[in-house]
């Protein structure tokens, strides 16, 4: 019995020693494995064998500074910072434009007829120049400009163009703090981030910033420049979803580099449409701005005719009045000719129908104007037209005049 008791005690001690050995071995293995993992992670990260990069972050606490390894995925979060930088850089170059008009009645005077926005694009000695929209300053007897800090100064209208909806103002430069630079609108891509800065709904919201993307480029929007209810021009515009509201007109559309890539001009405001803003591309605005600044008008070539698209004339008159063959279904009918105009000198007459301009088929007034305004004053172009049922051709030397075609 004594022997059996000692043997049982011996077995218990043996089992305890084995269990302790197992625990020590397991703990040592875990520690060694953890150390190997920590040491191996930087190497694996550098070799690109991990789906993330290991970055050491310094954490500061009350006892000093320690280092802690953290696995971080690469995520770009620079957009907000870049937008903030752009706004701080260019906000002083965007101004409010106040249209002042004389009021009638007992208390004659001058009151605000409307407000819009503008962009300071040039500073030359004591003079600075601002581009805005034609419709912002239309009918103004006096124009004022509100700077970003609220200062209001007098502005002089240098010239405006109804067709492109652009106008150039001149102000004294002594309080001008910033000038915006134009970017290349031909390089703008759909999806590119943009920023619109202006004064929506009036000066109480001056300097408002909205952010969006370019939704589309080279959009063609019909424009009725003479108010007759018929489109007579297709404006090529940039489309953006950055909020553009009344009062934003004339403000700048900036890219992420702080360059002006467009002049905000109009907004499609229909109940079924949301988030469509339109902007005149910088590359189309620049030559117009140059002409307005230099001559007070845009020096476009003209023909000197009154015209109407064939599609706007009752088909009855196509054969009965204009004597057109049945295969002629598009073109521009001449409704009147100025005697000493380029068209008059070239022999064009009332009821002639222009079907081709310098080798390009003419479908309507928009087509004719588009082709005409790609030419220069002094150019000679060939015009193909129908008269009394017969096709004829003449050469026209283009001269300069205002927008009466």
Question: Is 26 known to be catalytic?
Answer: no
Which residues are within 8 A (CB) of 316 and not within 5 positions of it... i.e. 6 or more apart? none
The alpha carbons of the chain give a radius of gyration, in whole angstroms, of: 36
Question: Is 249 known to be catalytic?
Answer: yes
- Secondary structure (3-state) at 250: coil
Phi and psi at residue 237, to the nearest 5°:
-135, 165
- Secondary structure (3-state) at 81: helix
Question: Is 309 known to be catalytic?
Answer: no
CA 60: distance to chain centroid?
Answer: 46
Tell me the HSE value of 377 on the side-chain side, using a 13 A CA sphere. 10
Please write down the long-range contacts of 216-220, taking CB distance under 8 Å and 24 or more positions apart: 216/190, 217/188, 217/189, 217/190, 217/281, 219/278
Q: Which of these, 309, 299, 167, 329, lies nearest to 232 by C-alpha position? A: 309
Q: Which of these, 361, 341, 351, lies nearest to 307 by C-alpha position? A: 351
**Extended beta strands in 24-178, E state:** 53-61, 64-72, 94-103, 109-124, 127-132, 142-146, 152-161, 166-172
Which residues are within 8 A (CB) of 243 and not within 5 positions of it... i.e. 6 or more apart? 196, 200, 210, 212, 275, 277
SS3 content of the chain, % helix, strand, coil (to 5): 25, 40, 35
Which residues are within 8 A (CB) of 127 and not within 5 positions of it... i.e. 6 or more apart? 170, 171, 172, 173
The residue from 161, 165, 232, 367 that is catalytic is 165
Q: Is 389 left (phi over 0), alpha (psi -120 to 50) or beta?
A: left
The residue from 160, 249, 309, 405 that is catalytic is 249
Q: How far from each other are the two terminal CA atoms of the chain, in whole angstroms? A: 130
Q: How far, in Å, CA of 140 to CA of 120, rounded?
A: 20
The residue from 93, 135, 206, 367 that is catalytic is 135
Q: How far, in Å, CA of 59 to CA of 401, rounded?
A: 72
- Provide the total of helices (H) and of strands (E) in the chain, helices listed first: 7, 22
Residues annotated as part of the active site: 135, 165, 249
């Amino acid at each position: 019995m004594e022997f059996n008791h000692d043997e049982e005690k011996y077995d218990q001690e043996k089992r305890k020693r084995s269990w302790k050995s197992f625990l020590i071995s397991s703990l040592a293995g875990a520690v060694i494995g953890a150390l190997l993992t920590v040491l191996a992670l930087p190497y694996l990260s550098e070799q690109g064998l991990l789906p993330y990069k290991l970055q050491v972050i310094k954490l500061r606490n009350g006892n000093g500074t320690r280092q802690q390894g953290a696995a971080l995925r690469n995520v770009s979060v620079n957009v907000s910072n870049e937008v903030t930088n752009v706004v701080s850089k260019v906000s002083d170059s965007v101004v409010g434009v106040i249209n002042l008009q004389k009021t009638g009645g007992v208390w004659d005077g001058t009151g605000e007829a409307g407000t819009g926005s503008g962009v300071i694009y040039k500073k030359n000695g004591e003079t600075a120049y601002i581009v805005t929209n034609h419709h912002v300053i239309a009918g103004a007897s006096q124009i004022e400009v509100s700077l970003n800090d609220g200062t209001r100064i007098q502005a002089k209208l240098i010239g405006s163009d109804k067709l492109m909806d652009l106008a150039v103002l001149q102000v004294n430069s002594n309080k001008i703090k910033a000038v915006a630079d134009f970017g290349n609108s031909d390089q703008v891509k759909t999806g590119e981030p943009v920023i619109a800065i202006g004064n929506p709904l009036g000066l109480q919201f001056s300097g408002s910033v909205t952010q969006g993307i370019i939704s589309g480029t080279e959009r063609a929007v019909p424009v009725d420049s003479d108010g007759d209810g018929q489109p007579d021009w297709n404006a090529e515009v940039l489309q953006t979803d950055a909020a553009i509201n009344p009062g934003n007109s004339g403000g700048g559309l900036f890219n992420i580099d702080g360059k002006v890539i467009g002049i905000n001009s109009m907004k499609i405001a229909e109940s079924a449409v949301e988030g469509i803003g339109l902007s005149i591309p910088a590359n189309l605005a620049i030559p117009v701005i140059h002409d307005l600044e230099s001559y007070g008008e845009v020096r476009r070539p003209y023909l000197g005719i009154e015209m109407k698209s064939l599609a706007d004339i009752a088909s009855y008159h196509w054969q009965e009045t204009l004597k057109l063959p049945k295969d002629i279904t598009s073109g521009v009918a001449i409704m009147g000719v100025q005697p000493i105009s380029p068209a008059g000198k070239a022999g064009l007459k009332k009821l002639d129908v222009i079907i081709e301009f310098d080798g390009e088929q003419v479908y309507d007034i928009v087509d004719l104007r588009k082709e005409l305004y790609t030419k220069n004053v002094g150019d000679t172009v060939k015009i193909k037209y129908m008269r009394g049922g017969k096709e004829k051709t003449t050469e026209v030397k283009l001269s300069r005049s205002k927008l009466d075609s």
